[in-house]
Structure 1
Amino acid sequence: MRAAVVTGPGQIAVSEVALPEPEPGQVRIRLEGCGVCASNLTPWAGPEWMQYPTEPGGLGHEGWGIIDALGANVEGLAIGERVAALSYKSYAEYDVADADKVVRLPDALAGHPFPGEPLGCAMNIFRRSEIEAGQAVAIVGIGFLGAILTRLASDAGARVIAISRRPFSLDLARRMGAAETIPMDDHYAIIERVKELTDGSFCDRVIEAVGKQWPLDLSAELTRERGKLIVAGYHQDGPRQVNMWLWNWRGLDVINAHERDSKIYVDGIREAIDAVASGRLDPGPLYSHVYPLDRLDEALDATRDKPDGFVKALVTFS
């Protein structure tokens, strides 16, 4: 099979390597594609802790495709079924996954890309946020995750205030149901605008979906007394400082919404499948850029640089 290997900071090679064989309790998937996750960007940049070359297919964890081999003792799945999976070497034409981390895709999704991991992540973050009708909800950072959360929150009856850097992202937030949009440029102007929009009380829920220090600081400032601050951004480029005086004074509930229990992660993927198959959620327009495997470097660069119109990149395999 062909698999991508990150050979150094900002460098890839696509090589022919042996097919992976499923162990007992695993399946092998002939991948149709894999989403490109922003969590790849720090390894792509070359931090001191990163080791090169990566394993073939390494960093890819948003794959979907068709089961083509079963390991021993696998029940409830069959060769030829189309699935999404939690697997971790999916920048390749094939990957293996534990059978209990594989979810069958219904016929209603035939022909549609389905990066299950980020969609399941969005559903789990939404559930942990406990968003209800009538709440004021600020979402800081409108990329793929922020856009989906905007749709889910607005459909739940919340009044969504979307805050993001790019004009394109603010337009996208409005299309996804945001009631208000604010450019993410001036820290204190944003605070004053949200204060004005909420009659001085700030937001019941604030979801930080950027993964940087300033948006985290800003998000705390926008959360009302006894509100919930939900950390959905992936903070991996170093330690963070928090304004504990503010968190304490307002009595904030702070939720790190990244799920680490694989069973709950898979439950989120199932929820996402139901939402997309039923038409309640349409992520299709958010897959803005599609690349073949040998242009994975371009996909990663676009994820980092966010050219105009960029939301999410997919790598697909013919």
Structure 2
Amino acid sequence: MTRKLQKLPENPYQAAGYQAAIIEAPQQFGITQETLPEPGEGEVRVTIEGCGVCASTIPVWEGRDWFDYPREAGAPGHEGWGVIDAVGKGVQGFAKRERVTGLSYKAYATHDIARAEDLVKLPDFLDGYPFPGEPLGCVMNIFSRSAIKKGQTVAVVGCGFMGLLLIQLAKSAGAKVIGISRREFSLEEAANAGADHTIKLDDHYKIIEEVKKITGGNFCERVIEATGIEWPLNLSIELTAERGKLIVAGYHQDGMRTINVQMLNWRGIDMISAHERDSKNYVKGIKEAIEAIRYRHMDPFPYFTHTYSLEDIEKAYQLLTNRPDGFIKALILNQ
């Protein structure tokens, strides 16, 4: 791990009911007191230690036209981790007081219900450390779909939380990495993560010429687009070598995209959407993330740059939207 990790204090929260954040209206969170639910068959209840704040949830926070308000209590928190405090019927392999991470969907709360099959036990070496399993599993699935090999040149377009971890993983695989991002702070972090070259995401044709020069005119065997924006997606196509792979890791959720299919065809590029919908693949990715951290192929902990309580969750979303220098990823912690 590249930097000394900071342990979190134990979470002492105990209550007959539970608290949850709720989006009452666009850009407006409130706190609600709910009756503590009992897990159903195949489910467990988790006392949530914390939950990551995901960029994919910005639209529901902003109030896009296709959302209704108020949202369900605890939604859209889906990056939670914590300790099992109740086990439903038929659950095997999990017990009370075990620390877990995985998939649940109302984790902006002190408690949440999850299917046991969607959870992963956290090993002892992660005791005390924050562990939003869902995004870390997502990173590992993207890396797996990229099929990066030693000696290849990989461009990572967008050096936020996921992009920085993918740079680490690509370097651990023996690749040469080019980090491309809008913020100077992100470029500095990309270099710290191991990127061999960094380029500012500002001038389309200038970037193409720089990458062409770095690669001797061959461009990149692998390009990972991690912005979710149309222009960098088209840029990524032009940075991909003949018979290369373009991996779409960015979450494109605000309408149709116009892309350069002519260049995709001409160069014979494999364009891969690295998003998963099968929970089994997420669980597999989370388990692989734990091992990647264990063997120091990936270190996410320095990138958890800001922490907030449930009551201050609006501040986390303001930072996520504005992304000032120093910000990479926010966590909501229950302490």
Q: TM-score, normalised by structure 1?
A: 0.99
Between the aligned partners of 2:37 and 2:238, the Cα distance in structure 1 is 49
In the alignment, what sits opposite 1:57?
74
Asked if 1:40 corresponds to 2:57, the answer is yes
Asked if 1:163 corresponds to 2:163, the answer is no
In the alignment, what sits opposite 1:247?
264
In the alignment, what sits opposite 1:280?
297
Between the aligned partners of 2:51 and 2:78, the Cα distance in structure 1 is 7
CA positional deviation for 1:65: 0.2
Asked if 1:18 corresponds to 2:35, the answer is yes
Aligned residue among 135, 141, 146 for 1:129: 146
Q: Contact between 1:35 and 1:62, CA under 8 Å: does it hold in 2?
A: yes
CA positional deviation for 1:16: 0.7
Task: Name the Cα RMSD after superposition.
Answer: 0.7
Letter in 2 for 1:61: H
In the alignment, what sits opposite 1:260?
277
Between the aligned partners of 2:136 and 2:203, the Cα distance in structure 1 is 31
Letter in 2 for 1:193: E
In the alignment, what sits opposite 2:86?
69
In the alignment, what sits opposite 2:192?
175
The Cα offsets for residues 26-51 of structure 1, whole Å up to 9 and x where unpaired, read as 00000000000000101111111101
Asked if 1:3 corresponds to 2:20, the answer is yes
In the alignment, what sits opposite 2:223?
206
In the alignment, what sits opposite 1:89?
106
Letter in 2 for 1:64: W
Between the aligned partners of 2:86 and 2:142, the Cα distance in structure 1 is 33
Gaps of 5+ in 2: 1-17
Between the aligned partners of 2:244 and 2:102, the Cα distance in structure 1 is 34
In the alignment, what sits opposite 2:206?
189
In the alignment, what sits opposite 2:3?
none
In the alignment, what sits opposite 2:119?
102
Pairing of 1:133-148 with structure 2 (within 5 A): 133-148=150-165
The Cα offsets for residues 169-224 of structure 1, whole Å up to 9 and x where unpaired, read as 11101111100000011111000000000000100000000001111011001001
Letter in 1 for 2:49: E
Letter in 2 for 1:41: I
Q: Secondary structure at the match of 2:287?
A: helix
In the alignment, what sits opposite 1:309?
326
CA positional deviation for 1:277: 3.0
How many residues are paired up?
318
Letter in 1 for 2:226: A
In the alignment, what sits opposite 1:112?
129
Q: Contact between 1:103 and 1:266, CA under 8 Å: does it hold in 2?
A: yes
In the alignment, what sits opposite 1:293?
310
Q: Contact between 1:143 and 1:311, CA under 8 Å: does it hold in 2?
A: yes
Letter in 1 for 2:278: D
Letter in 1 for 2:25: G
Q: Contact between 1:151 and 1:176, CA under 8 Å: does it hold in 2?
A: yes
Pairing of 1:206-245 with structure 2 (within 5 A): 206-245=223-262
Letter in 1 for 2:136: L
Between the aligned partners of 2:109 and 2:25, the Cα distance in structure 1 is 18
In the alignment, what sits opposite 2:15?
none
Q: TM-score, normalised by structure 2?
A: 0.94
CA positional deviation for 1:265: 0.8
Between the aligned partners of 2:208 and 2:39, the Cα distance in structure 1 is 52
Q: Contact between 1:27 and 1:99, CA under 8 Å: does it hold in 2?
A: yes
Between the aligned partners of 1:189 and 1:167, the Cα distance in structure 2 is 17
Q: Secondary structure at the match of 1:191?
A: helix
Q: Contact between 1:106 and 1:277, CA under 8 Å: does it hold in 2?
A: no
CA positional deviation for 1:259: 1.1
Q: Contact between 2:168 and 2:297, CA under 8 Å: does it hold in 1?
A: no
In the alignment, what sits opposite 2:167?
150
- What's the % identity of the aligned pairs? 57
Q: Contact between 1:65 and 1:83, CA under 8 Å: does it hold in 2?
A: yes
Q: Contact between 1:109 and 1:277, CA under 8 Å: does it hold in 2?
A: no
